[in-house]
Amino acid sequence: MTPYDLEQIIQQGEGLTIEFKQARNGLPRDLFETVCAFLNRKGGHLVLGVQDNGTVIGVEPEQVEQLKKDFTTLSNNPNKLNPPFLLEFTEIHLQDRTLLYVYVPESSQAHRCDNVVYDRRHEGDFRVIDNANISSIYGRKSSFYSESRIYPHLGLSEFQPGILDRVRQLIRSRASSHPWLSLSNLELIRSAGLYRKDYQTGAEGCTLAAALLLGREDVIHSILPHYRIDALVRQEDVDRYDDRLDIRTNLIEAFDMLMLFVTKHLPERFFLQGDQRINLRDIIFREIVANLVVHREYTNATPARFVIFGDRVETDNANKPSGYGPINPDNCSPFPKNPSIAKFFVQLGQVEELGSGIRNVTRLLKYYCPNRAAQFIEEDVFRAIVPFSRIKEVRLPDIIESLPPKKEPVSDKLIKDSKAIQDLIARMEREIKKVRVKEVIQQRLLEELTLFATDRVFSATELSMELNVHSRTIRRDFSILLNANFIQPADSFGFYRISDTWSTS
């Protein structure tokens, strides 16, 4: 989420999936009523530091870390939100104010806040006190999200030995202070939403999602005999296969096995940023593999397929479609097929925020396989088609800073347009001094504009890697540069380029 993206959300105003809260010095009293309502309905965007009419007032900067900590702790506390649903705020700077943002996805379970069920309408949150309406929420969840199906006799003894230690290892490598690390095995399962109670029937226990994520192979197949993922290479023998991987284990191990299959059979491509090489293959196909294992309808007997042909990868997985036909990456809306499974992979650091996969693949594919586009088709079977080529390695030119210390080699474009770019930078240097920020910030802004001056597009993450500056700082800088009309949003979501009024092209 960038300042520009958040500004677009704020401009839409409050409604069914958008809620603003004032929070200068502490969490609002009714904050988790909204969280609960979003979880029980369609999900939504929650922003702290904005008045109901959309006026940005911000939160006190010195309170930000405490607010973030309190929010994460309470979202994981069954006495406040039951069942718990771990959420984390993102700090975003807009209009010289600090805001806190979180996207709350629709949950596969029915939640209570302070033992009260809340639902959402366009005009806001409301208590659900009628038993018939409460039952309809539970019925809606259980009938749509098959991952939440309860298996009362499924316990920790049916999990793959050592799998929860593996989970903690992955979490610790991403966030050493993650709240799940201090929990017992059963507490972790409950906090992850993998253990639930059906208040209609009284049944309680681990869910289908728990079995799929953590179960032994024999346990999974006693529940879903048809479950498997078929990974094939069809390049020489297109009628049969050159290599095959028949995956029937739990989803955590399946993810690792598919990524090893990718490493074995698909070519690497490196995006060069200064001295750092980013492996595009791993980033792109991590998203494709994540989609295959996270967003599948597992009660459907259609096997999932991951097939590598000579010039493309095709994946198929059973689906409960929210629409039909090709997906446009520019305006696709996130729609969780298995929210608990998706949330679990997010906490492991193997999946990014909901809805980012298609956009990330589309954005990076132009470097991995230039002049070809990926296709995503939503039907009863979801299909992804991702092209690739067998060129050994594509080395994109380094774009250097004109400010010391210089990096080598200088790109052809920078040599060709050196005079024009230097003149542009000189003009921007004069203008940047008019921005009312500290001199050290002005210098950093000029360094960022120097890179934009070569007509490159950047996301906050990429620019932070170029300059070795935290991405939160870059996002704050983007807000300043946007307001001063130095940069503007690029065609790709989350990316920015030099403003048309400054471009040398």
Report residue 67 CA to chain centroid gap: 22
Q: Provide the pLDDT for residue 426.
A: 79
pLDDT of residue 375: 92
Place of tokens 């059979």: 265
Judge if 1-143 and 412-498 fold alike in CATH terms. Answer: no
Phi first, then psi, for residue 457 (nearest 5°) are -105, 145
What is the DSSP pairing of strand 204-207 with strand 195-197?
antiparallel
Question: Which of 256, 259, 234, 261 minimizes the C-alpha distance to 245?
Answer: 261
Structure-token pair, residue 441? 């910030």
Q: What is the pLDDT of residue 331?
A: 63
Give the start-end residues of each E strand in 253-296. Answer: 270-273, 276-279
CA distance 476 to 481: 9
Q: Which H or E element spans position 293?
A: helix 280-294
Contacts of 333 (CB under 8 A, 6+ apart): 322, 355
Q: Using alpha carbons, list the distances in angstroms from residue 52 to 12, 59, 164.
A: 12, 15, 43
170, amino acid identity: L
Task: Determine the pLDDT at residue 409.
Answer: 33
Which residues face 206 on adjacent strands? 151, 195
What CATH number has the domain spanning 412-498? 1.10.10
Contact of 350 with 290, CB cutoff 8 Å = yes
Write out the E strands in 304-454: 304-308, 312-318, 325-326, 375-378, 381-387
Beta bridge partners of 244: 232
pLDDT along the chain (505 residues), means of 10: 86 91 88 93 91 91 91 89 86 90 84 91 88 78 78 92 91 86 92 84 89 94 92 86 91 93 88 67 91 87 90 89 75 72 87 71 86 87 89 38 32 49 77 79 84 78 75 82 82 74 65
1-143 falls under which CATH superfamily?
A: Schlafen, AAA domain (3.30.950.30)
Residue ranges per domain, the chain?
A: 1-143, 229-387, 412-498
CA–CA distance from 1 to each of 55, 101, 161, 215 (Å)?
Answer: 19, 9, 38, 34
Task: Give the span between the Cα atoms of 93 and 58, in whole angstroms.
Answer: 9
Give the tokens for residue 218: 């024999």
User: Residue 335 and residue 339: Cα distance in Å, rounded?
Assistant: 9
Element spanning 124, H or E: strand 124-128
Domain 229-387 has CATH 3.30.565.60: yes
Q: What angle do CA 299, 305, 311 make, to 5 degrees?
A: 155
Q: What is the pLDDT of residue 20?
A: 94
Residue-level pLDDT at 249:
94
45's enclosing H/E stretch is strand 44-48
DSSP annotation string for 323-360: S-EE--TTT-----SSHHHHHHHHHHTSS-STTHHHHH
pLDDT score, position 142 = 62
Contact 47, 127 (CB under 8 A): no
Burial of 301 (0-12, 13-18, 19+ CB in 10 A): exposed
b vs e for 237-268, b when ≥16 Cβ sit within 10 Å of the residue's Cβ? eeeebeeebebebbbbbbbebbbebbeebbee
